[in-house]
Amino acid sequence: MYNDNPTLSGLNKEIDEKKQGEVFYQEVSIDEPDGKKFYIESYGCQMNFSDSEIVASVLGDAGFAPTKKMEMADLILINTCSIREKAEETVRKRLRIFDKIKEQKPGTMVGVLGCMAERLKKKFLEEERLVDLVVGPDAYRDLPNLVSTVEDGDKGINVLLSREETYADISPMRLGSNGITAFISIMRGCDNMCSFCVVPFTRGRERSRDSFSIVAEATDLYKKGFREVTLLGQNVDSYKWTNPESEEVVNFANLLELVAKVHPDLRIRFSTSHPKDITDDVLFTMKKYENICKYIHLPVQSGSTRILEKMNRTYTREWYMDKVRRIYEIMPECAISSDTITGFCTETEEDHQETLSVVEFSQYTMSYMFFYSERPGTLAARKFEDDVPIDVKKRRLNEVIRLQNQISHNLNQKDIGKTFKVLIEGDSKRSDQEFKGRNTQNKMIVFPKKEGLKPGDYCEVKVNSASSATLKGELVG
């Protein structure tokens, strides 16, 4: 886990950095011993993981096969995150390891993709001399060209951001997949300009992907045996696509409905919702379709209206609480999760108490909790002083974590005795005698296997015991 982020496990966002990123791979076929191979590691949010699958597809078309062994690769790629300083430090550490491989195997190409590539641009090639390729999130189609440039002895760089690119026509190569759950990117970029956040600078302007291509991807996944798709965007509720032929506008509620209709056995999740944009329409669409999971990731960031204003989140504490109330009113069984930042510029003890009380009020099933990390170039870095001492930031973070753990624990205890519909995802981490799967609220449940059941099946599980992270149960019915 992060030192700055000892959060609970969950669906979303940042990957446990000690795991050194998720490694996408496919066993290299022995029929092609001489074929070119690439290795890719991904850090950061789900969007980055989803992008790595697009990169894999682009490289696959260019004749590269994936490998899980970096020593075997002709091309080593790292898809990077800039969200906090710590995320960038991790990338630099990984580059030291790639450098060693390059020393042992000259000719190996090393490429940096994603948000850090976009943030640092040419500076990356100056700072990290052994890096050959620097490619921003909107330039992945150019990868084969850039690789040729490197093969010809030059450095390859493309960090142009686009207003149109959505990779709508590229069918992602699902390499690290369990075959049951998959991500579908529905939009790219972000127009929100939260003052602490680097994403608008690394991912560019917001644009929505063609709805038809999203529905087609979901349908194709269903046919291939997948049973859950997560629609991804930095702010999914502002999804908006205009059909060029009919001029018809598809908003997020419409899109949810279109995907829900693909098949009643295909579950739909989505992330992330910005509290200012999630509408009643979205909530009622969720309610209407059983296969749209009753789970909303609704980051609050802070519980203080004064801090929220400084963060440029465009809602107040009361407005956020009203939204939470509305969700529970329309769907009493809905689970909500959140992101919080402690120690943002000028945060007082009083502001911090307000964050604690909003966490208590909202009854999140889980949260991603961070202390503020100033990012160069952001509004906050330019306008405000990063004036909360690090030990205060960390102490406040620990208080939020302690409270959240208590709430998660209590909510899980309340699940004991209840029966949930679970989608089986595979063997549990601990034992091949047990399955793991999630309920609609996105809670992981572990239970003993029964003959005839397999990953991708739905089953009814009664919860018998609970910790703050996992529920344990038994099959019923």
Q: Indicate whether 201 belongs to the interface with ligand SAH (CB under 6 A).
A: no
Q: Indicate whether 197 belongs to the interface with ligand SAH (CB under 6 A).
A: yes
Q: Indicate whether 440 belongs to the interface with ligand SF4 (CB under 6 A).
A: no
Single out the residue of 373, 412, 439, 440 in contact with ligand SAH (rule: CB under 6 A).
Answer: 373
Least distance in angstroms from the C-beta of 356 to ligand SAH: 16
- Closest to ligand SAH by CB, 183 vs 226, is 183
Least distance in angstroms from the C-beta of 83 to ligand SAH: 5
Single out the residue of 42, 80, 181, 192 in contact with ligand SF4 (rule: CB under 6 A).
Answer: 192
Single out the residue of 13, 269, 323, 393 in contact with ligand SAH (rule: CB under 6 A).
Answer: 13
Q: Indicate whether 208 belongs to the interface with ligand SF4 (CB under 6 A).
A: no
Look at residues 168, 194, 122 and name the one whose alpha carbon lies nearest to residue 339: 194
Helices and strands, number each (H, E), in the chain: 14, 22
- Closest to ligand SF4 by CB, 66 vs 204, is 204
Query: 353 CB contacts (<8 Å, ≥6 apart)?
Result: none
Quote the tokens at residue 266. 């295909």
Q: Indicate whether 378 belongs to the interface with ligand SF4 (CB under 6 A).
A: no
Q: Using CB under 6 A, which of the segments 125-133, 246-254, 368-376, 424-432 binds ligand SAH?
A: 368-376
* DSSP 8-state symbol, 141: G
Helix, coil or strand: residue 460: strand
404-441 CB burial, b ≥16 within 10 A, e <16: bbebbeebbeebeeebbebbbbbebeeeeeebbbbbbb
- Number of residues binding to ligand SAH, judged by CB under 6 A: 18
Q: How far apart are CA 8 and CA 138, in angstroms?
A: 31
Look at residues 471, 454, 366 and name the one whose alpha carbon lies nearest to residue 420: 471
Quote the tokens at residue 419. 């029966």
- Closest to ligand F3S by CB, 203 vs 227, is 203
Single out the residue of 214, 324, 341, 356 in contact with ligand SAH (rule: CB under 6 A).
Answer: 341
Q: Indicate whether 404 belongs to the interface with ligand SAH (CB under 6 A).
A: no
- Number of residues binding to ligand SF4, judged by CB under 6 A: 10
Residue 443's CB: how many other CB atoms inside 10 A? 24
Beta strands at 434-438 and 444-448: parallel, antiparallel or unpaired = antiparallel
Phi and psi at 390, nearest 5°, equal -55, -40
Choose the one of ligand F3S, ligand SF4, ligand SAH, none that binds residue 341, judging by a C-beta under 5 to 8 angstroms depending on kind: ligand SAH
Choose the one of ligand SAH, ligand SF4, ligand F3S, none that binds residue 238, judging by a C-beta under 5 to 8 angstroms depending on kind: none
- Closest to ligand SF4 by CB, 276 vs 394, is 276
297-315 CB burial, b ≥16 within 10 A, e <16: bbbbbbbbbbbbebbebeb
Q: For the chain, how long is the longest CA-to-CA vector? A: 65
Handedness of CA 248, 249, 254, 259 (dihedral sign): positive
Tell me which residues touch ligand F3S (CB under 6 A).
44-45, 47-48, 81-83, 114-115, 198-199, 202-203
Choose the one of ligand F3S, ligand SAH, ligand SF4, none that binds residue 375, judging by a C-beta under 5 to 8 angstroms depending on kind: ligand SAH
Choose the one of ligand F3S, ligand SF4, ligand SAH, none that binds residue 202, judging by a C-beta under 5 to 8 angstroms depending on kind: ligand F3S
Q: Indicate whether 234 belongs to the interface with ligand SF4 (CB under 6 A).
A: yes
Single out the residue of 73, 109, 133, 190 in contact with ligand SF4 (rule: CB under 6 A).
Answer: 190
Residue 350's CB: how many other CB atoms inside 10 A? 9
Choose the one of ligand F3S, ligand SF4, ligand SAH, none that binds residue 200, judging by a C-beta under 5 to 8 angstroms depending on kind: ligand SF4
Q: Indicate whether 234 belongs to the interface with ligand SAH (CB under 6 A).
A: yes
Q: How far apart are CA 473 and CA 425, in angstroms?
A: 15
Helix, coil or strand: residue 104: helix
Look at residues 325, 373, 334, 359 and name the one whose alpha carbon lies nearest to residue 89: 373
Choose the one of ligand SAH, ligand SF4, ligand F3S, none that binds residue 230, judging by a C-beta under 5 to 8 angstroms depending on kind: none
Q: Indicate whether 235 belongs to the interface with ligand SF4 (CB under 6 A).
A: yes
Least distance in angstroms from the C-beta of 5 to ligand SAH: 9
Q: What is the strand order of the sheet 228-232 is part of?
A: 181-185, 228-232, 267-271
Q: Using CB under 6 A, which of the segments 192-200, 237-245, 399-407, 419-427 binds ligand SF4?
A: 192-200
Q: Is the CB of residue 190 less than 8 Å from the CB of residue 206?
A: yes
Q: Is the CB of residue 190 less than 8 Å from the CB of residue 199?
A: yes
Q: Using CB under 6 A, which of the segments 60-68, 196-204, 277-285, 341-349 binds ligand SF4?
A: 196-204
Q: Indicate whether 238 belongs to the interface with ligand SF4 (CB under 6 A).
A: no
Q: Indicate whether 200 belongs to the interface with ligand SAH (CB under 6 A).
A: no
Residue 68's CB: how many other CB atoms inside 10 A? 17
Which residues of this chain interact with ligand SF4, rule CB under 6 A? Answer: 190, 192-194, 197, 199-200, 234-235, 274
Which residues of this chain interact with ligand SAH, rule CB under 6 A? Answer: 13, 83-84, 196-197, 199, 234-235, 272, 274, 299, 301, 339, 341, 370, 372-373, 375
